[in-house]
Structure 1
Amino acid sequence: MSATPSNSALRIFLVTWVGRLVSYIGSGLSSFALSLHVYQSSGSITQFSLTSFSYFLPQLVLSPVAGALVDRWDRRRVMLLADLGAGLGTLSSWLLVAASEAGHWKLQNWHLYLTIGLGACFASFRAPAFQATTALLMPKRHLARANSLLELAAGTGQIVAPVVAGALLGRIGLSGILLIDLSTLTFAMGSLLLVRFPAPPRSEEGQRGRGQLSEEIATGWRFIRSRPGLLRLLAFVAVANLNTALVLVLLTPLALSFTDAATLGALMSSSGMGMMIGSIAMGVWGGPRRRMLGVIGFHVLAGVSLLAACLPPHVVLLGGAVFFFLFSVPVVSSCAQAIWQTKVPADMQGRVFAVRRMVALVSPPVAALVAGPLADRYFEPWMAPGGALAGTVGRVMGTGPGRGIALLLVVLGTVILVNAVTAWLSPAMRNVEEELPDTLPEPSVLRAA
């Protein structure tokens, strides 16, 4: 056992982060390519959506178990196991696709759902392990910057992957892209083999929750529930995540109501840069000293951005609104994450963060289920010529295709603003940084595992 100096902690974080960045790009390539294959081979939106469902469902179910085991086990080994398991899922997909391309196997889409789900089971361990370890590696004053780098890595994978995968599919095929994903996972595992993570200091709260696995799973929720500020912050972020997921679902049909697919692609790419630039800005700035101001203040920016949907439909206006909306996301997320990391004991962060992740994973499938019916059954008919709101709201926003979706975005923007105002009026959440003690020592006093 030897002391881990701060410069070594920074090196460990950066080496691990580079591995994550490369792995995110590879995972994004294979995810995009597999989803595209399923849609092109079936022509079914339902089968296409099942690729996302098969990825999110295992993580939603396994998150509580993953959090408890992350606190029990060495976190570097947990991440190695997660990468190995994700690689097993990708390798299974490659074997099926390669056999199909060679004419030895008739590939069915449900085969890919199984392999995607297999990889997702292991991936559910990776995020809580690295998030909990970040708090042990970085000084508390730099946690928001470190979290913004994690957002940047994930955002880079989402932005780069569709463009690169589209260019590579015609040249190396689906099997070639899956091999690239395997190579990036190997790189990520190699980066983990170069470092050692500090062991989390033991806390009375963390040791009190030790026991049977079922008891440890419940400990994370009890910890949050007994602290009104953190419980209110969890509810606040849940509303924010659901609104973000709904906006991302509705953006495509809104844009296609007044422009073409080529312009949509440019719009998605340019607006997606908002999230990347927001992450870079947080990395440079580090966020406000009082992190709750960053959480609530930039949530207000997100809400105001959506109110631009009131304006006449135009690519530049929509692109600018979505840019600022996505710019706010990494700032809110990084500041909120830093609050959790400083207020939750290090040996409990796996369990507590798993509860947060489970809440976050609910948003994408819920948004996918409710966005379409809300727009098709209610808002679009209301804003059609002669619709229920055509003579009132329609006089301001206009009527016709897409105007109902625009109104729904305005409603979501209003919900965001109400969420921000009620959060600021809640003393428990507004003062959580002052009322709850910091639980993390600086990395220089931690011990290497």
Structure 2
Amino acid sequence: MSRHSKTGMRIFIFIWLGQMGSLIGSSLTSFALGIRVYQNTQSVTLLALILLSASLPSSLIAPVAGVLVDRWPRRWVMIFSDFGAGLSTLAIALLLFAGKLEVWHICIASAVSSGFSAFQLPAYSAATTLLVPKQYLDRASGMIQLGRGVAQLLSPILGGLLLVTIQLQGIILIDFLTFLFGIIPLLLVKFPEPKITSISHSQTVQKSSLLQEVTSGWDYITVRPGLLGLLMFFTISNLLVGAVEVLIRPLVLSFASPAVLGTMTSFAGIGLLAGSLIISTRGGPKRLIHSVIGFQLLGGFCIVVAGLRASVPLITLAAFLFFFGWPILNTCVQVIFQKKVAIDVQGRVFAIRQMVADASFPLAYAIAGPLADKIFEPLMVANGPLAGSIGQIIGVGPGRGIGLMLILMGALTVLVAIAAYQYPRLRLVEDELPDVI
């Protein structure tokens, strides 16, 4: 590795450590707020509303944010977005200390934080491509997934303990302090500036119009069927996974305590940590797209298994395997885009990818809660319409309607993975599109 490459890798690791610390603090707050809201309201719909608030603004703002990421220094974009997210956390803390925190306050604060994350995510991804040598992009992306795995592992363990000891007020204070831990490295380092490439100039519009620049990110993807197919595949997958994200906590809490939920979430975090460690230390496989489709297939089977029985060991095993594959799948998708998209337009292209793929999450959050509360749960009560048929297989009572929804979501996930492999442009995306870095 050259001296320049080593310097870039050291800067990336410095930033990564700060961002991981900030993510742990945010995960602690998210876990604690989710437990508090569901225990106080017993409403899947309200829990889904908070998740919707935390995702929709990011999707709506992403296209404009991506263009600004390409226009502005990416380090300052990350500083700006982290600072904004920190202010939203501070607002929650002040309301909580004043004894006035309501669900709608949490929704607004989540929406504000989501808006700032629309800038942070494409800036972080594009900055990684600038800093890290091409041959180590898979490991760097794996390290980012590793940070999420550490947060996933620690947040339920620490969150459950801290809720008892320092309560929600203390957890939110920790979150704000970890925000400072994340922003300091960004203030101390400098990023290299992206070079303008002939590839990007031939595929994008002149920078005279913000709207033209936004649409140029979409055009960049659509003229490359392999990238478009990968984007559509990931979007549909996110729709199904988003529904599962809404449903899994109420499913477990229907037959187990919050402490058990925390333990199960920790095992999911161990799976995420293990998968992240593998991809960050060993690198990605030679055929990235095969891992994308293969681990999506595994994830579908895990979702089906989680819905079959109200069983702590069974759901824990399914969660471990699902989250083991998730960072490998995400890393492979990320590296394909990083290698195939010109550096100076990665901000807008990654933002368009974020907008389209993540737009499925708000849709999932909006429909999963009402479907569970109003349709599937009533179907699976003791004397419900499906109690004598499907109920004989998966059981009846609280949570069994959600279990049925998971089985259906998992089956659809498997079908999407099989269909994706049948599309040649997606299956051969690594061969048909040249690397541009």
Q: Is the pair's TM-score, using the shorter chain for normalization, greater than 0.5?
A: yes
How do 1:12-23 residues align onto structure 2 when only pairs under 5 Å count?
12-23=11-22
**Does the C-alpha gap of structure 1 residues 53 and 246 become closer, same or farther in structure 2, counting only changes over 3 Å?**
closer
Q: Deviations over 1:151-195 (max 9, x none)?
A: 221232243234334433455454443433332222222111232
What is the one-letter code of the residue matched to 2:233? Answer: F
| 1:125 aligned partner | 119
What is the CA–CA distance in structure 1 between the aligned matches of 2:372 and 2:429, rounded to whole Å?
37
Q: Deviations over 1:16-63 (max 9, x none)?
A: 100100111122233444556666777876655544333323212211
| 1:339 aligned partner | 336
| 1:437 aligned partner | 434
| 2:349 aligned partner | 352
Instruction: Please list every run of 5 or more consecutive structure 2 residues that lacks an aligned counterpart in the other structure.
Output: none
What is the CA–CA distance in structure 1 between the aligned matches of 2:278 and 2:405, rounded to whole Å?
30
Shift of 1:86: 2.2
| 2:314 aligned partner | 317
Which of 180, 183, 206 is the aligned partner of 1:186? 180
Is 180-189 or 324-333 further displaced after alignment? 180-189
Which of 126, 146, 149 is the aligned partner of 1:155? 149
| 2:305 aligned partner | 308
Shift of 1:89: 2.7
Shift of 1:199: 1.4
Which of 211, 216, 226 is the aligned partner of 1:219? 216
Name the SS of the counterpart of 1:276 in structure 2: helix
| 1:446 aligned partner | none
What is the CA–CA distance in structure 2 between the aligned matches of 1:14 and 1:389, rounded to whole Å?
53
Q: Does 1:266 align with 2:260?
A: no
Structure 2 contact 70–346 (Cα < 8 Å) conserved? yes
| 1:28 aligned partner | 27
What is the CA–CA distance in structure 1 between the aligned matches of 2:31 and 2:307, rounded to whole Å?
32
Which of 343, 363, 376 is the aligned partner of 1:366? 363
Q: Does 1:427 align with 2:421?
A: no
Is 16-25 or 34-43 further displaced after alignment? 34-43
Name the SS of the counterpart of 1:5 in structure 2: helix
| 2:288 aligned partner | 291
How do 1:79-94 residues align onto structure 2 when only pairs under 5 Å count?
79-94=78-93
Q: Does 1:241 align with 2:238?
A: yes
| 2:140 aligned partner | 146
Structure 1 contact 33–174 (Cα < 8 Å) conserved? yes
What is the CA–CA distance in structure 1 between the aligned matches of 2:95 and 2:310, rounded to whole Å?
45
What is the CA–CA distance in structure 1 between the aligned matches of 2:229 and 2:340, rounded to whole Å?
14
Instruction: Please list every run of 5 or more consecutive structure 1 residues that lacks an aligned counterpart in the other structure.
Output: 441-449
**Does the C-alpha gap of structure 1 residues 383 and 44 become closer, same or farther in structure 2, counting only changes over 3 Å?**
closer
Shift of 1:69: 0.3
What is the one-letter code of the residue matched to 1:183? Answer: L
| 2:66 aligned partner | 67
Structure 2 contact 157–263 (Cα < 8 Å) conserved? no
Is 119-128 or 174-183 further displaced after alignment? 174-183
Structure 1 contact 308–317 (Cα < 8 Å) conserved? yes
What is the one-letter code of the residue matched to 1:67? Answer: G
- Number of corresponding residues: 433
What is the CA–CA distance in structure 1 between the aligned matches of 2:313 and 2:184, rounded to whole Å?
43
What is the one-letter code of the residue matched to 1:244? Answer: V
Name the SS of the counterpart of 1:86 in structure 2: helix
What is the CA–CA distance in structure 1 between the aligned matches of 2:332 and 2:140, rounded to whole Å?
10
Name the SS of the counterpart of 1:289 in structure 2: coil
What is the one-letter code of the residue matched to 2:55? Answer: F
Which of 243, 251, 254 is the aligned partner of 1:254? 251
Name the SS of the counterpart of 2:55 in structure 1: helix
**Does the C-alpha gap of structure 1 residues 263 and 416 become closer, same or farther in structure 2, counting only changes over 3 Å?**
same
**Does the C-alpha gap of structure 1 residues 388 and 179 become closer, same or farther in structure 2, counting only changes over 3 Å?**
closer
What is the CA–CA distance in structure 2 between the aligned matches of 1:390 and 1:167, rounded to whole Å?
38
**Does the C-alpha gap of structure 1 residues 286 and 373 become closer, same or farther in structure 2, counting only changes over 3 Å?**
same
What is the one-letter code of the residue matched to 1:125? Answer: F
What is the one-letter code of the residue matched to 2:84? Answer: G
**Does the C-alpha gap of structure 1 residues 330 and 388 become closer, same or farther in structure 2, counting only changes over 3 Å?**
same
What is the CA–CA distance in structure 1 between the aligned matches of 2:403 and 2:106, rounded to whole Å?
36
What is the CA–CA distance in structure 2 between the aligned matches of 1:288 and 1:85, rounded to whole Å?
37
**Does the C-alpha gap of structure 1 residues 399 and 115 become closer, same or farther in structure 2, counting only changes over 3 Å?**
closer
What is the one-letter code of the residue matched to 1:85? Answer: G
What is the CA–CA distance in structure 2 between the aligned matches of 1:416 and 1:200, rounded to whole Å?
38
What is the one-letter code of the residue matched to 1:332? Answer: L
Shift of 1:418: 1.6
Shift of 1:318: 1.9
Structure 1 contact 309–407 (Cα < 8 Å) conserved? no
CA-based RMSD:
3.0
Q: Does 1:410 align with 2:407?
A: yes
**Does the C-alpha gap of structure 1 residues 49 and 395 become closer, same or farther in structure 2, counting only changes over 3 Å?**
closer
Structure 1 contact 4–198 (Cα < 8 Å) conserved? no
What is the CA–CA distance in structure 1 between the aligned matches of 2:403 and 2:34, rounded to whole Å?
28
**Does the C-alpha gap of structure 1 residues 370 and 436 become closer, same or farther in structure 2, counting only changes over 3 Å?**
same
Is 184-193 or 222-231 further displaced after alignment? 184-193
Structure 2 contact 156–263 (Cα < 8 Å) conserved? no
What is the CA–CA distance in structure 2 between the aligned matches of 1:399 and 1:438, rounded to whole Å?
53
TM-score by length of structure 2 reads 0.88
Is 360-369 or 336-345 further displaced after alignment? 360-369
What is the one-letter code of the residue matched to 2:311? Answer: H
TM-score by length of structure 1 reads 0.86
Structure 1 contact 152–279 (Cα < 8 Å) conserved? yes
Q: Does 1:228 align with 2:225?
A: yes
Which of 130, 135, 138 is the aligned partner of 1:136? 130
Shift of 1:417: 1.9
